[in-house]
Structure 1
Amino acid sequence: MAEHLIPDHQETPLRTHWHALSKEQIEHVLQTGVGGLTDAEARNRRAHYGPNQLPPPKRHGPLQRLLMQFHNILLYVMIGAAVITALLGHWIDTGVLMAAAVINAIIGFIQEGKAESALDAIRAILSPHATVIRDGRWREIDAAELVPGDLVTLASGDRIPADLRLVKVKELRVDEAALTGESLPVEKCHEAVVINAPLGERYSMAYSGTLVVYGQASGIVVATGTATELGEINQMLSSIRMLSTPLLRQVDRFGRTLALAILSMSAATFVLGAWWRGQPPSEMFMMVVALAASAIPEGLPAIMTVTLALGVQRMARRNAIIRHLPAVEALGSVTVICSDKTGTLTRNEMTVQHVVCAEHVFNVGGVGYAPVGNLSIDGRIIDPDHYPALAMAIRAGVLCNDARLREEDSLWRVEGDPTEGALLVLGEKAGFTQHVSYEAWPRLDAIPFESQHRFMATYHRDSDDEPWIFVKGAPERILDMCGAQWSHDGERTLEINYWRRMAADTAAQGLRLLALACKRASPLGGCLSFTDTESGYVMLAIVGIIDPPRPEAILAVRECHHAGIRVKMITGDHAETARAIGAQLSIGVGKPAVTGAEIAMMDDATLRRLAWDVDVFAQASPEHKLRLIQALQEEGQVVAMTGDGVNDAPALKRADVGVAMGMKGTEAAKEAAGMVLADDNFATIVSAVHEGRAVYDNLKKFILFMLPTNGGEVLVVIAAILFELALPLTPAQVLWINMVTSSTLGLALAFEPAEYGIMSRRPRPPGEALLSGFFVWRVLMVSVLMMICALGLFLWELNNGTSMEAARTMAVNAVVAAEMFYLVNSRFTLASVISLDGLTGNRYVLLAIAACIPLQIAYTHAPTMQAIFNSTDLTQLEWCKVVAAGLFVFSVAEFEKFVIRHSPLAARLNK
């Protein structure tokens, strides 16, 4: 066969329309038939299309990934300072600076790039083998050898090896949840469907990577490798660049600004001292290096890592497993959560909620597969035995059923169709246990459910040896078989309009409908046949079934709204079902549900407006989900996206925080996500948001503590130079202060518990700077306070005749004491710490202070330290002055909080 006769389905529009072509058209276009392809034809096509595989991703080498971690302005400054201190022989300082830089790079190297594994996970779900007709004979081949035009057979349990146009179907049901998000297996057929059918409704197609759960079929391969739906997702995933988290963007901006400020300050200090005040250039150069090293927040990478790691541990205890450290904080800045429905917001356990009989509508309590709950009418609990139609309907649902309900390790599970399982749970609630019912009413024959007939029938005999035939199926089909209805006092003429109205009302609530009917008769031929299902049945009930919302998800959505976070539901289910579940969860109430087909028709500008206004999106494909995430991000939102299927992987990777399901999620989804929910529970996301906000608070508290510390030292030196005073601190003493406080005090704030009311705040603006105007004020105020304490005490002692060594020793201790007291202040940004909880609520703060005190005592009184740093002993009175200096900073900082709390500014800062 000439290759030009084979359409390049990777380019032609027909690739997306295979579902709309007839079997004859498919065979003509692909030049194939019942005998399949010859080996020669298959080789030609494989040379044209390539193997049925997904290409591996491009990866950076380990060395390149490691070097990329040093591409950070603060690390450049830190490494530069380390080189200068090394040239000057200050090896301890060099070691501290280089260790901070290397540790930061190693952590980034370990965490970076893990999402590339998502592409490996997608390739892993491809079927390894396929049963195909070649040269007129069936054979099993490597799935990578498949080409368009091959005729493939499918059986229950098979992983579909390529995109197939089905040409022969026998009760085929395919689990497409990983591709479409549809929670139930999809019934397939061989008839063509409309050309604009969404992916989940292309019933004549079977897609690569999905799973056959029931039945048999054969189909013609129409797409392989990257041209399959799965391949498109793979290409989409590989083209998506993971976004930096809000914190990393803020830290990057902060680092650039701070680096510029440090270099400017260092140059100005050198000019002031060496050229204006005549200080020795060598001494001023060393002082500038010391101040620059002090001003560089080398503790920031370490404190970020520790704070994020602690957040990871706390989240893990709440069933949220973090895969990428920055995702911890990103959760705290989320403004929108886009959530899958099935299993995340809902239980993924079909539950009967309503039973509509001829005279009553019964409500069914309880959710999920656990058989706990009552039946009621208008809130009044009833006994099913007192309502003959209800009792017989429940019995019919239990007997006309192929599923099994089992309890394992205190958990109830359904084996078989989830909808049939819901009927068994209803039976258990009403006392109709399946095993006992089968013993009393043994099944003698059955007609299994078939999509073209839309019902299932079973033949039984009761304990009195009376024959019964039960049917269940689509309401309109069952109504066609009925001529009567079962009422409280026996059979009556069927009121067809009543049943149609009740079916419409129940369906409008987003419930799936099943009708149940019976006939007291034996099969005409002894065995059950379709002749026995034509007429003569008595309508028993219409059952409304739904996958109910998780109770904890309802509370969690409410908490999100309280925290200023919008929750949007994106699902593969139908629009009415999505709207009904959304209403129960308070998502999108009073608003329309937008379908994927409608999204596909919108331009980007329209979608940006709609993405914010609408909260429920139904029948969404991977492209639709990705466009929605991008539209929200373009509107300035920080987006978390939940998902479990391969179809969710691109959106999970693109989102600021991708959240995958741990229990039912595919490996592709987990690898693309930054966080995995071990319990598949939406409420866990809200807990993680709480932890994320606490992490960000602690990082800000550390920066608010660290910058005044460094700023105070800088102001002390600059003030001394400006006023032609003796330098209160030597370069070595500056480095000592920086080293001892960074290694002991600041770390304690990483362990700070969340402040009260943290989930009552609005999400912080995505473009917010790490240091707001208020923070700049706080940093300047405390820096000036520390300068006043250190410089004031230094000058006072010199004026009283104290030696230069003692005055400098007191200045060093005054700075450190001020930092100790200010550490306690820093526990709460605005709230007062003058309480038992404020002073003792974080034991790590007390431990840090307790560790710092011996270091300062050794610095002051140990002969070795006196020789290195030129320090000297202090008297008890001098130590009291040092403590008083620290108390001064503490008192003024608490007074400033008091003033702000009682001013209009407090309301804005607490938003």
Structure 2
Amino acid sequence: MSASTAPTDLSLDAPYALDPDDVRARLGSGEAGLDPEDAASRLAAVGPNELPEPKRTPAWLRFLSHFNDTLIFILLASAVIKAVMADWLDFWVIVSVTIINAVIGYVQEGRAEKALAGIRGMLSADAYVRRAGAWATIPARELVPGDLVRIMPGDKVPADLRLVQAHQLRIDEAALTGESVPASKQTTAVDAAAGVGDRASMAFSGTIVSAGQGQGVVTGTGAHTEIGRIQTLVGDAGSLQTPLTRQLDAFGKVLTLVILGMALVMLLIGRYGHGMPFAELISATIGFAVAAIPEGLPALVTITLAIGVQQMAKRRAITRKLTAVETLGSVTSVCSDKTGTLTKNEMTVRRIVTPVARYDVDGLGYDPEGAITPTGGRDLAALLAVADLCNDADIVPDAATGRWSLVGEPTEGALKVVAMKGGAAGQPAARIGVVPFDSANKFMATLDEAPGGSRVILVKGAPDRLLDRALTQRGGAGAEPVDRAFWEAAIDELSAQGLRVLAAARKPTRADEVEIDDLVDLEFLGLWGIVDPPRPEAIEAIADCHTAGIRVKMITGDHAGTATAIAREMGIVGDGAAVLTGAELEAMSQEQLKAVVQDVDVYARTSPEHKIRIVRALQAHDEVVAMTGDGVNDAPALTRADVGVAMGIKGTEATKEAAEIVLADDNFATIRSAIREGRRIYDNLRKSVVFLLPTNGAQSLVILVAIVFGLTLPLTPVQVLWVNMVTAVTLSLALAYEPAEPGIMTRPPRRTGGSIISLRELGYVLLVSVLIGGATLGIFGGVIAAGHDVDYARTEAVTMLALGQTAFLLNCRFSSRSSLTLDVLRGNRVVWWSIAALVVLQLIYTYVPFMNTLFDSRPLAAQDWLLPIGLSIAIFLVVEVLKAVRRRDGRADSM
């Protein structure tokens, strides 16, 4: 087919499984490349090589969507009531609360859209392409299927390419596959069922060329590339309501029904039981609704979560979405990438095998601190010389951070470090020639000259390739015939430990340069076992997660053997644990995956679609799933998970934008700390809700009793608002600073679903409401009986409500143990600051003249404070009895 003849179909299925000539023929791509006219017509047909902008919901509609919440409806209803009562100050306060909540949600939302923007930013700007027989640089957006593109080190691959030439080509595909080392490329077709990480005949858009050169035919552009497919997955992944939003929604609906039901009962009783005037009855009912509606609850939730965000940031976990703080506390499974999260992403030599001995290597990563044990002889020195000299990497110290960093490829960096640990680095030798690593030969060789003039060929590479070229091995007594069976057994042993195995060999020579033909009759020196080592703190964190009832699942692009060995070493699984590969997962239906997903903790050779399927399968069991990741391939699964966790140092921008939590230190142990913090925050949030509700319960009970029995109202609507305001502004926020309850990481994750307040806790709240409300009614009636006027009695009633809530605050500090301890006096200074603030505000309410005018309050005599204080102490003691009964019955649920 001529270069100027455009095929009718510019899409290819599995081009990596086709021969290069077949791909060229199907896409009409000749040696001279495409004609400009042909390229223009193709561009018009398929569109530019760029990822499409997602469809966006109008900003005003996204803003209004944040008012679609039952609790917000309650707030808006409260505002309407205030407007009816012409209480405009409180009307604007409530409206402001709803607007602030909507603004916070609007600012925090849009993570998927930002993730798509992050992915679009990964694409290359330019491409080196052959058109009409000449090479030229064009904007990458103008590439079309069939274009012939050249790529070199440092280039960002501009489109998906089927390679037709590959000379020592290696490409860093970590952002797509999670592989910790660059992938070697070839032109030979691979199996059609190969996963992304095994498609060695392809170069993918957005990846980076780390070594070698290549040419490829464009097979996919824009949305039809692998990265474009991931963008589609991000857009389609969808997001879920968090456990907190589901619980608050359920709670708000129940609360709404209760308030409406009780208001209706009040209307009927007042109208037909006592014959109250309709206008007076409506006013009383409005007062009841104002008393019953917890206007401060949404603000309380938002502020508590915001405080949690600050606390999380101190633990190096940056929160991008408020509700994610709480969601972490309910996580049941953590799906974690391996490289860089569970491991250091710094290749390290851990084992050395020579014909004479076996050696262990201490130390992790690129820090050259560590020892090789036992101390070796000439066998080890020869092996370390290859590690140092047959090597293009360098390890350099960073004066600013004090850390060592790698310049070069990770595997060569590991060899350079082990040479430094063995004291063999920096040997006085000059490199005369080199045979670079080639994916076809799978080895590298250098010709080095010692100061005395002797020359030697040093070789490192795949063990099987070096054994094929070896004649002897360096034994204890000198050269001896190579023992292939010994070496194959050693290779199998190291591989079973999850180690990547490389071999070393040498050959003395007098040559002036080194050629492939010289690399025969080698002396085999030994093996290195290399691994990306686990983070020690991650091993401890995984154990803590298991203690807390949280399963840790490793999902990686590595091979099954390596993945299983690392998972075993980290304590994720034991011996004989099942591992599921991407190919096996591909053959499963979603129902089949759902049946086994809870029993499998290691997934290897996975693709982005597989990660989403795993997350969905876990969520089908009502699990709350946290997903970690750093590559763009992780973005869809992070979007779908209940809480996405991105790596802040090595993570791509797309991943960070898709996640709700960003780890500033890329450390799995930080996830453990964040989960603990999430549990603490949720505990404190429930404590705050349980504390806040008796305020409304007691007030509404007081008004309800007054209407049912035809009594004078002990509180006016404006006094109800005063009590709500001072308790919400002062006392309720104090519990957000409570330290974690003992044993917070030894209890299982809480059950999802239901209301934020259980029926048992609701009964507890009602009992406390009766206690505080009964004390308020008693004081009101007693003061009236003593001959004081109604306004004086109401001031005393308001004081009783405020002090009763103060006593109950101390009860709420500890949900699982008694507050009759000196610990209730310490551990949270904010409690005492808030109590002091409430007392000051109550004194102002009682004694400042303009407050007396505004709220119809009256100055109290000093002795009239004694009864409210005494009853508050009694309430504290009675509530402690109630808590003891709940603990004895085994019903002390965490609040």
User: 2:396 is matched with which residue: 383, 393, 406?
Assistant: 406
Are the equivalent residues in 1 in contact too, given 2:3–2:29 (CA < 8 A)?
Answer: no
Q: Which stretch of structure 1 is more off in the superposition, 389-398 or 333-342?
A: 389-398
Instruction: Specify the code of the residue in structure 2 equivalent to 1:448.
Output: P
Are the equivalent residues in 2 in contact too, given 1:273–1:721 (CA < 8 A)?
Answer: yes
Instruction: Specify the code of the residue in structure 2 equivalent to 1:95.
Output: W
Could you tell me how far apart the structure 2 residues matched to 1:217 and 1:677 are? 36
In the TM superposition, residue 3 of structure 1 has moved relative to its aligned partner by 11
Correspondence 1:547 to 2:532? yes
User: 2:291 is matched with which residue: 294, 304, 307?
Assistant: 294
Could you tell me how far apart the structure 2 residues matched to 1:4 and 1:71 are? 56
Q: Cα distance 1:749–1:910, how it changes in 2: closer, same or farther (>3 A)?
A: closer
User: 2:642 is matched with which residue: 637, 652, 656?
Assistant: 656
In the TM superposition, residue 9 of structure 1 has moved relative to its aligned partner by 4.8
Q: Cα distance 1:217–1:4, how it changes in 2: closer, same or farther (>3 A)?
A: closer
Q: Cα distance 1:2–1:39, how it changes in 2: closer, same or farther (>3 A)?
A: closer
Q: Cα distance 1:77–1:303, how it changes in 2: closer, same or farther (>3 A)?
A: closer
Counterpart in the other structure of 2:831: 845
Query: What SS is found at the alignment partner of 2:745?
Result: helix
Q: Deviations over 1:562-618 (max 9, x none)?
A: 111100000011111100110011113231221111111100111112211100001
Query: What SS is found at the alignment partner of 2:816?
Result: coil
Counterpart in the other structure of 1:461: 449
Give matches, 1:609-620, under 5 Å.
609-620=595-606
User: 1:558 is matched with which residue: 511, 536, 543?
Assistant: 543
TM-score between both structures, scaled by the size of structure 2: 0.97
In the TM superposition, residue 4 of structure 1 has moved relative to its aligned partner by 10
Are the equivalent residues in 2 in contact too, given 1:641–1:659 (CA < 8 A)?
Answer: yes
Correspondence 1:217 to 2:214? yes
Instruction: Specify the code of the residue in structure 1 equivalent to 2:412.
Output: E
Could you tell me how far apart the structure 2 residues matched to 1:673 and 1:289 are? 44
Query: What SS is found at the alignment partner of 1:612?
Result: coil
Correspondence 1:422 to 2:410? no
Are the equivalent residues in 2 in contact too, given 1:644–1:660 (CA < 8 A)?
Answer: yes
Instruction: Specify the code of the residue in structure 2 equivalent to 1:558.
Output: A
Q: Cα distance 1:2–1:475, how it changes in 2: closer, same or farther (>3 A)?
A: closer
Counterpart in the other structure of 2:781: 795
Could you tell me how far apart the structure 1 residues matched to 2:689 and 2:21 are? 71
Counterpart in the other structure of 2:99: 102
Q: Cα distance 1:801–1:643, how it changes in 2: closer, same or farther (>3 A)?
A: same
In the TM superposition, residue 472 of structure 1 has moved relative to its aligned partner by 0.8
Could you tell me how far apart the structure 1 residues matched to 2:230 and 2:4 are? 27
Instruction: Specify the code of the residue in structure 2 equivalent to 1:821.
Output: A
Could you tell me how far apart the structure 2 residues matched to 1:317 and 1:683 are? 14
Query: What SS is found at the alignment partner of 1:255?
Result: helix
Correspondence 1:585 to 2:585? no
Counterpart in the other structure of 2:193: 196
Give matches, 1:441-520, under 5 Å.
441-520=429-508
Could you tell me how far apart the structure 1 residues matched to 2:597 and 2:165 are? 41
Counterpart in the other structure of 2:115: 118
In the TM superposition, residue 397 of structure 1 has moved relative to its aligned partner by 1.1
Could you tell me how far apart the structure 2 residues matched to 1:341 and 1:311 are? 28
Could you tell me how far apart the structure 2 residues matched to 1:92 and 1:49 are? 60
Are the equivalent residues in 1 in contact too, given 2:3–2:34 (CA < 8 A)?
Answer: no
Counterpart in the other structure of 1:180: 177
In the TM superposition, residue 651 of structure 1 has moved relative to its aligned partner by 0.3
In the TM superposition, residue 7 of structure 1 has moved relative to its aligned partner by 5.0
Correspondence 1:6 to 2:11? no
User: 2:687 is matched with which residue: 701, 705, 723?
Assistant: 701
Could you tell me how far apart the structure 1 residues matched to 2:505 and 2:629 are? 39
Are the equivalent residues in 1 in contact too, given 2:70–2:253 (CA < 8 A)?
Answer: yes
Correspondence 1:397 to 2:398? no
Could you tell me how far apart the structure 2 residues matched to 1:230 and 1:894 are? 59
Could you tell me how far apart the structure 1 residues matched to 2:641 and 2:237 are? 10
Query: What SS is found at the alignment partner of 2:53?
Result: coil
Could you tell me how far apart the structure 1 residues matched to 2:811 and 2:134 are? 81
Q: Deviations over 1:283-342 (max 9, x none)?
A: 332232222123222212211221111111111111111111111111111111000000
In the TM superposition, residue 28 of structure 1 has moved relative to its aligned partner by 1.4
- Structure 1 stretches of 5 or more lacking a match? 377-381
Could you tell me how far apart the structure 2 residues matched to 1:724 and 1:305 are? 39
Are the equivalent residues in 2 in contact too, given 1:85–1:289 (CA < 8 A)?
Answer: no
Query: What SS is found at the alignment partner of 2:418?
Result: helix
Query: What SS is found at the alignment partner of 1:344?
Result: helix
TM-score between both structures, scaled by the size of structure 1: 0.95
Counterpart in the other structure of 1:379: none
RMSD (Å), alpha carbons: 1.7
In the TM superposition, residue 636 of structure 1 has moved relative to its aligned partner by 0.7
Counterpart in the other structure of 2:871: 885
Could you tell me how far apart the structure 1 residues matched to 2:331 and 2:424 are? 48
Correspondence 1:621 to 2:618? no
Query: What SS is found at the alignment partner of 1:877?
Result: helix
Counterpart in the other structure of 2:755: 769
Could you tell me how far apart the structure 1 residues matched to 2:580 and 2:182 are? 23
Query: What SS is found at the alignment partner of 1:760?
Result: coil
Are the equivalent residues in 2 in contact too, given 1:174–1:212 (CA < 8 A)?
Answer: yes
In the TM superposition, residue 93 of structure 1 has moved relative to its aligned partner by 2.4
Q: Deviations over 1:498-541 (max 9, x none)?
A: 11111111111110011111122223xx2111121022x22111
Could you tell me the percent identity over the aligned residues? 47
Could you tell me how far apart the structure 2 residues matched to 1:910 and 1:857 are? 35
Could you tell me how far apart the structure 2 residues matched to 1:905 and 1:739 are? 32
Query: What SS is found at the alignment partner of 2:63?
Result: helix
Could you tell me how far apart the structure 2 residues matched to 1:296 and 1:731 are? 12
Are the equivalent residues in 1 in contact too, given 2:111–2:659 (CA < 8 A)?
Answer: no
Could you tell me how far apart the structure 2 residues matched to 1:317 and 1:81 are? 37
Are the equivalent residues in 2 in contact too, given 1:7–1:30 (CA < 8 A)?
Answer: no
User: 2:588 is matched with which residue: 602, 610, 632?
Assistant: 602
Q: Which stretch of structure 1 is more off in the superposition, 250-259 or 634-643?
A: 250-259
Are the equivalent residues in 1 in contact too, given 2:127–2:158 (CA < 8 A)?
Answer: yes
- Structure 2 stretches of 5 or more lacking a match? none
Are the equivalent residues in 1 in contact too, given 2:3–2:33 (CA < 8 A)?
Answer: no
Query: What SS is found at the alignment partner of 1:771?
Result: coil
User: 1:325 is matched with which residue: 317, 322, 325?
Assistant: 322
Q: Deviations over 1:763-806 (max 9, x none)?
A: 11122421112211211110111122111222233334343333
Q: Which stretch of structure 1 is more off in the superposition, 785-794 or 337-346?
A: 785-794
Q: Which stretch of structure 1 is more off in the superposition, 162-171 or 741-750?
A: 741-750
Q: Cα distance 1:268–1:8, how it changes in 2: closer, same or farther (>3 A)?
A: farther
Give matches, 1:300-319, under 5 Å.
300-319=297-316
Query: What SS is found at the alignment partner of 1:567?
Result: strand
In the TM superposition, residue 2 of structure 1 has moved relative to its aligned partner by 12
Could you tell me how far apart the structure 1 residues matched to 2:891 and 2:94 are? 38
Could you tell me how far apart the structure 1 residues matched to 2:625 and 2:861 are? 59
Are the equivalent residues in 2 in contact too, given 1:52–1:147 (CA < 8 A)?
Answer: yes
Q: Deviations over 1:730-784 (max 9, x none)?
A: 2222222122222222121222222222111111112242111221121111011
Instruction: Specify the code of the residue in structure 1 equivalent to 2:583.
Output: A
Could you tell me how far apart the structure 2 residues matched to 1:85 and 1:768 are? 31
Instruction: Specify the code of the residue in structure 1 equivalent to 2:719.
Output: Q
Counterpart in the other structure of 1:256: 253
Correspondence 1:383 to 2:375? yes
Q: Deviations over 1:413-433 (max 9, x none)?
A: 111111111111111111112
Correspondence 1:781 to 2:778? no
Counterpart in the other structure of 1:231: 228
Are the equivalent residues in 2 in contact too, given 1:3–1:44 (CA < 8 A)?
Answer: no
Are the equivalent residues in 2 in contact too, given 1:74–1:296 (CA < 8 A)?
Answer: no
Q: Cα distance 1:59–1:416, how it changes in 2: closer, same or farther (>3 A)?
A: same
In the TM superposition, residue 463 of structure 1 has moved relative to its aligned partner by 4.0
